[in-house]
Structure 1
Amino acid sequence: MQLAKIHHIAIICSDYERSKKFYTEVLGLPVIHETFRAERNSYKLDLAVGNQAQIELFSFPDTPERISRPEARGLRHLAFQVENIDATVQELEAHQVSCEPIRVDDITGKRFTFFTDPDGLPLELYEA
């Protein structure tokens, strides 16, 4: 087996319009395609992350809350690589998105911080 790259990350949100605005306007991810599936009363929004990956943003009626924390078993967080973490944090804060203090990775020496999406999903900025 030879896996080539990550194609997409799928996220189910609680409020489609709020999350769509966050990912497109606050994070600036371009829309590839948006689909409404009437039989499921569900939206699927494909968003580009650079030239390598996509986020699939889904809405479903009456989804249960995730009961785990970042240290629980399963997907821990989604990290975005940025060139200038200070400028990116300032842009997020201009949209009233709070970030944790910037830290340095003990292993790589790279700077990083965490913030959350509208549903509290943990997102990371990792400086190139």
Structure 2
Amino acid sequence: MLKLNKIHHIAIICSDYELSKKFYVDILGLKVIREVFREERNSYKLDLEIGGQYQVELFSFRDPALRPSHPEAAGLRHLAFEVNSVEEAAFHLNELGVTTEPIRIDPTTGKRFTFFTDPDGLPLELYEL
């Protein structure tokens, strides 16, 4: 049987590299591990750390294809970030100009959560510990 240890990284392709880099680093506070310009692809790859453990890879490509980002579209539904307080995290994002949905309660776990989007409309979630 295959034994998976953990999620190693999450890869995101962005349409505006500088805007997305600012969003993930300056607004969400992810830490830059390394940034590489791949000349042969005319593309950046930015490795970001979250919580000292997980890694988000942010890629730039010239004219990436658009794809549906509706909550029920096939493919990745959303990326969720665990926070201590959804209310405090949402307030912080709102102060920085990021719109969040009203805070809801997960009917299964009783935990609070909300959604917002990155600059390309990728659905992101804040989920309370």
Q: Please say if residues 30 and 50 of structure 2, whose CA atoms lie closer than 8 Å, have aligned partners that are also in contact.
A: yes
Q: Please say if residues 34 and 46 of structure 1, whose CA atoms lie closer than 8 Å, have aligned partners that are also in contact.
A: yes
TM-score, scaled to structure 1:
0.97
Counterpart of 1:70 in structure 2 is 71
Question: What is the CA distance between 1:123 and its match in structure 2?
Answer: 0.1
Taking the aligned partners of 2:69 and 2:55, their CA distance within structure 1 comes to 24
Stretches (4+) displaced over 3 A: none
TM-score, scaled to structure 2:
0.96
Q: Please say if residues 6 and 52 of structure 1, whose CA atoms lie closer than 8 Å, have aligned partners that are also in contact.
A: no
Taking the aligned partners of 1:70 and 1:45, their CA distance within structure 2 comes to 26
1:106 aligns with 2:107: yes
Counterpart of 1:4 in structure 2 is 5
Counterpart of 1:53 in structure 2 is 54
Taking the aligned partners of 1:102 and 1:117, their CA distance within structure 2 comes to 18
Contiguous gaps of at least 5 residues in structure 2 = none
Question: What is the CA distance between 1:64 and its match in structure 2?
Answer: 1.1
How many residue pairs end up in the alignment?
A: 128
AA at the equivalent of 1:63: P
Taking the aligned partners of 2:37 and 2:126, their CA distance within structure 1 comes to 30
Contiguous gaps of at least 5 residues in structure 1 = none
Counterpart of 2:119 in structure 1 is 118
1:89 aligns with 2:90: yes
Taking the aligned partners of 1:62 and 1:88, their CA distance within structure 2 comes to 32
Taking the aligned partners of 1:67 and 1:83, their CA distance within structure 2 comes to 30
Taking the aligned partners of 1:30 and 1:93, their CA distance within structure 2 comes to 21
Helix, strand or coil for the counterpart of 1:63? coil
1:19 aligns with 2:20: yes
Identity among equivalent positions (%) equals 66
Question: What is the CA distance between 1:114 and its match in structure 2?
Answer: 0.1
Aligned-residue RMSD, C-alpha = 0.8
